[in-house]
Amino acid sequence: MSDQAPPVLTPAVHTVGLTRTYGSMTALSDLNLTVNRGDLFGFIGSNGAGKTTSLRILATFLTPTSGTAKVLGCDVVTQSDEVRHLIGYMPDFFGVYKDMEVTEYLDFFAACYKIPSASRDKTVSDVLELVGLSEKKGALIGALSRGMQQRLGLARVLIHDPQLLLLDEPASGLDPRARIEMMAILQELQRLGKTIIISSHILSELQSLCNRVAIIEKGKLIYAGPVQGVRDQMSEGPVYWVTVAHGTQAQAIEVIKRCDGIKEVEMADGKIKVSLVSSETDPAAISGALVTSGLRLLGFREDEIGLEEVFMRVTRGDTQ
Amino acid sequence: MLEVVERELRVASRSRGIFASRAVAAGIPLAILLYYHLVMQSFYGRMSGSGLFNTLMYLALFAVSFGGLRSTSDSITSEKREGTLGLLFLTALSATDVIAGKFAAYGLRSFYSLIATLPMIALSLLLGGVTGGEFLCGSLLLLNTLFFSLALGLVCSTFFKRQNAALGVASALMMVLMLAGFLVQAALEWWQIRPPDVVVHLFSPLMAFAKISNSFMGADPQFFWIHVGFLQALGWLCLLLAKRGVRECWKEVVVANTFTRMNWLNWRSWPSLLVESSQSLAAYRNRALSHSPYYWRVTRSKILRMLPWSSVILAVLAICCGFVFDSGFVRQGGFAVFVLVILHLVFRVMLAASAAFVMVEDRLSGGLELALGTPLTVKRLLHGYYWGIWRNFGGPLATIILLELAIFSWVAFIEADLDKEMVRMMICFCLNLVVDCLAIVPLTLWKAIDLNKPQHAAGIAGLRILVVPGVLFVLLVSLAHPDGDSVAIIWVFINFFNALLNGGISDRKLRDHLRERVASRFTAKIPLV
Ligand SMILES: Nc1ncnc2c1ncn2[C@@H]1O[C@H](COP(=O)(O)OP(=O)(O)OP(=O)(O)O)[C@@H](O)[C@H]1O
Ligand SMILES: [Mg+2]
């Protein structure tokens, strides 16, 4: 794992010009993406954006129409066997045999990874412990709840201790509590040094969970980078909310408009929304101007623009 | 009680199957009727209705015997799986209410299907030769059999967790009942006791009808009522057992596979005859998994493993019964050959069905795709399938061939000069079976990659392996008029070539395209979870 990482770190995932078409439909076009080791990487896009397609290419299920993808330095097309050893792919379906017991199921996949039978038992109980399914060892999978089946899927992915996890919407269909638990497990895994790519629609969670995200729309990459950077790149400039005493708003707007670097000033919800041209503009100048013109400044805060909003802004909600 | 019935009926009314099953139930006799009318009559002139009546009655009795099992075998198991059985008991319902409600609700569909069949059977009245009384008795017999079959399915459903286990055991019990007459007779004759006729015909509805239709009501009118009463009593016994069982079984809704030790005095441990202990299962799993994951996957179900053996055992039983009953025909081996021909057919069909079943289930559940995402190679995966399927079927196949050798040596021993023709045919017969079985596995697996219904894949494989060479053979022989020696050679050759072609090509295709087909099909077509 990461403690013995090689001196020159190849990125966990590196794609160049990755393209995949289905007939005349381009599901993924010219994707250039780099995911570093140890990242918890969020992969965001609306329905049909091409998330599953990209993950399935990385998981060696699909061959790209053009372009290359490397997982931990191994090419997904020419070195697919090596790649399969390195990754754990959890698809957007369960893939469970309902009439198997939990341990049988995990034993089965452990054998697929050629884990020797001597260590199989221990490995299986370890992963079950990790995902919190220890009590369900002997249960039939068909009798597990949806959330438990999802955890079982996660356990299956972890059974061969892969370095890279590709999780396609692992939290879908979970109740809020189970979702938070799932996220906790993922953070724990990241702490253990795994690289995790997680695709999701649930943006608010990715915001606190992931350190880097990519936004993809109609098969094209729109943004890739740290979560904080999304706003800087996506929205034009910072936004501040100014609250002044009732009845003095019109006057305050006039004052603010006279400051430098102001792009737009408008009223919203009884507050004044001030959009700056760029993050270089000093917001203190605005508050200073308001105070010196004798207005009572009740509130002044930066707009906490969430991933959700950025997402809504960059994607127009159209699906392919 | 009414609440359960009402709830079940509401669920049932939403399913489209109930209409389909009625349509099928009415459609099959109608097809036979048309066939009789158009084909048979044009050959033989006007026929009496009794032949048709008997044919339809046998078919209907057979369908009712096993159809009823199918309806009720999932009635309690489904509640157990979903853990809702306990909820029923939290209300004021008693065990009797639950059993009666389930019986009524699940039986209703079969009952409707049966009712839809009766007018078709009644049409044979129009042809003459069948009296209204006979028809009424036949209908009563059908209803009575349905009652028993439903009850048997229900009782098995209370004692098993999985529907296929319940259905399997229920069907086996039904089979035993159908053969019970022969077995009792064989046993009695062994002790030099001439059993009364009633004994042979009492147990099985089919045999009972045979007796009734032979001497209809004239010679032995009481027998009809004896049989009806017997099945009624058995049915009520089943319901009583089910009532006792259902009160106990919901408490262990925990779906752990707890293994109860086999104890002949405790009827509740009897199912463990079919279920292996978890220790022996784990030991087997360990061994099989190191062979190949899919080897274990294919061989893990004991019921699937016993299926081919059951066909062999049934055939042996039938042959033994034949020896007990008949003398002349059997001594010439005719009856045994007839049974073996059927066995050969059934065996191929079972092989194809189980291969198709495994592949379709693997693919639809998504398990196969996940396995392909691991370093498991397609080659190793296919080996697992092949060896697993052969572990299930190899023993029975060898037994069939040994059995045939034994019968032949015996016939050769009895009859000093053995019919050479027949020996030759028999050897071809065995050769063809082996070759076909070898080819049928890859062919069915390959077909099952694209189809979502196992029976379709098995059907196509059967067509390609059995029907096509058969037609070719008949064409060739009727055109070329070869002599006896060459007929056998042609037969084997055509079959061999056909099997080699189908099996070889399918195996190649599986190796080359399995990965891509499984992955692409999966995203493109199949609705998930
Ligand atoms: N097997 C296929 N054949 C044809 N088109 C496909 C196939 N698989 C995916 N597509 C198309 O490729 C596009 C991208 O699909 P993909 O499954 O990658 O989307 P996604 O981002 O995962 O969406 P979702 O959030 O709904 O899971 C979609 O327009 C889809 O219709
Ligand atoms: Mg998707």
* Structure tokens that stand for A154 in this block: 């996660």
Distance B297 CA to ligand 2 centre (A): 29
Q: Whose CA is nearest to atom 5 of ligand 1?
A: A22
Determine contact: B369 vs chain A, CB below 8 A.
yes
What is the structure's pLDDT at A232? 65
Residues B133-140 have a mean pLDDT of: 86
B332 has a pLDDT exceeding 60: no
Residue ranges per structural domain of chain B: 2-249, 283-518
Residues B306-324 have a mean pLDDT of: 82
Ligand 1 pocket, residue A45 CB under 6 Å: yes
What is the structure's pLDDT at B271? 59
Residues B316-342 have a mean pLDDT of: 68
Task: Name the B residues in 322-361 with CB < 8 Å from any A CB.
Answer: 361
Of B366, B374, B529, the CB nearest to A109: B374
What is the structure's pLDDT at B151? 94
What is the structure's pLDDT at B253? 42
What is the structure's pLDDT at B275? 59
DSSP class of B445: H
Residues B6-25 have a mean pLDDT of: 65
Residue by residue, DSSP assigns A36-98 as: -TT-EEEEE--TTSSHHHHHHHHTTSS--SEEEEEETTEETTTTHHHHHHHEEEE-SS----T
B511 has a pLDDT exceeding 70: yes
* Structure tokens that stand for B450 in this block: 């694209």
> pLDDT per residue over A58-109, tens digit each?
999 888 999 999 999 999 999 988 999 999 999 888 788 878 889 999 999 9
Answer for the pair A206, A44: CB distance below 8 angstroms, yes or no: yes
Percent of chain B whose pLDDT exceeds 90: 18
| Residue B277 burial (C-beta neighbours within 10 Å; 0-12, 13-18, 19+) | middle
Q: Whose CA is nearest to atom 18 of ligand 1?
A: A50
For helices B454-462 and B334-365, give the axis angle rounded to 10 degrees: 140
How would you classify the pairing of strands A25-35 and A164-168? unpaired
Contact B369 A61 (CB under 8 A): yes
Answer for the pair B64, B142: CB distance below 8 angstroms, yes or no: yes
Answer for the pair B372, B518: CB distance below 8 angstroms, yes or no: yes
Ranking A9-18, A149-158, B4-13, B184-193 by mean pLDDT, the lowest is B4-13
Distance A21 CA to ligand 1 centre (A): 10
Neighbour count for residue B423 (Cβ, 10 Å): 13
Contacts by B194-201 with C-beta closer than 8 Å and gap 24+?
B198/B223, B198/B226, B201/B227
How many Å apart are CA B271 and CA B276, to the nearest integer? 10
What is the structure's pLDDT at B42? 57
What are chain A's domains?
A: 13-230 (3.40.50.300), 239-302 (3.30.70.100)
Query: Model-level pTM?
Result: 0.67
Q: Which residues contact B267 (CB under 8 A, 6 or more apart)?
A: none
| More confident call, B387 vs B334 | B387
* Structure tokens that stand for A151 in this block: 């955890």
What is the structure's pLDDT at B236? 94
Q: Which ligand is nearest to the CA of A50?
A: 1
* Residue in chain B lying closest to A98 (CA): B365
Ligand 1 pocket, residue A51 CB under 6 Å: yes
Q: Which ligand is nearest to the CA of A22?
A: 1
What is the structure's pLDDT at A65? 92
Determine contact: B81 vs chain A, CB below 8 A.
yes
- Is the complex ipTM higher than 0.85? no
A249 has a pLDDT exceeding 90: no
> pLDDT per residue over A199-240, tens digit each?
987 666 777 788 888 888 888 888 888 877 766 666 666 778
- What do you get for the CA distance between the two ends of chain B, in Å? 33
B13 has a pLDDT exceeding 50: yes
How many Å apart are CA A189 and CA B220, to the nearest integer? 79
Distances (CA, A) of B390 to A46, B101, B142, B304: 48, 44, 40, 12
How many Å apart are CA A10 and CA B102, to the nearest integer? 63
What is the structure's pLDDT at A132? 85
Q: What residue type is B377 in one-letter code?
A: T
Contact B371 A109 (CB under 8 A): yes
The confidence band for B22, taking pLDDT boundaries of 50, 70 and 90, is low
What is the structure's pLDDT at B262? 54
What is the structure's pLDDT at A234? 61
The confidence band for B378, taking pLDDT boundaries of 50, 70 and 90, is very high
What is the structure's pLDDT at A235? 60
| More confident call, A320 vs A84 | A84
How many Å apart are CA A173 and CA A110, to the nearest integer? 26
Determine contact: A5 vs chain B, CB below 8 A.
no
What is the structure's pLDDT at A215? 87
Q: Is the dihedral of CA A58, A61, A66, A68 positive or negative?
A: positive
B-chain CB neighbours of A98 within 8 Å are: 365
Residues B257-285 have a mean pLDDT of: 63
Determine contact: B126 vs chain A, CB below 8 A.
no
> pLDDT per residue over B220-256, tens digit each?
667 788 888 989 999 999 999 988 888 776 554 444 3
Of B161, B278, B297, the CB nearest to A108: B297
Residue A319 three-state SS: coil
B496 has a pLDDT exceeding 80: yes
* Structure tokens that stand for A315 in this block: 């994607």
Closest CA relative to residue B170, chosen from B106, B118, B228: B106
Averaged confidence pLDDT in chain A: 84
The confidence band for A304, taking pLDDT boundaries of 50, 70 and 90, is low
* Structure tokens that stand for B283 in this block: 């030991």
Averaged confidence pLDDT in chain B: 79
Residue B127, φ and ψ in degrees, nearest 5: -75, -10
Contact A61 B373 (CB under 8 A): yes
What is the structure's pLDDT at B19? 62
Neighbour count for residue A15 (Cβ, 10 Å): 25
B327 has a pLDDT exceeding 60: no
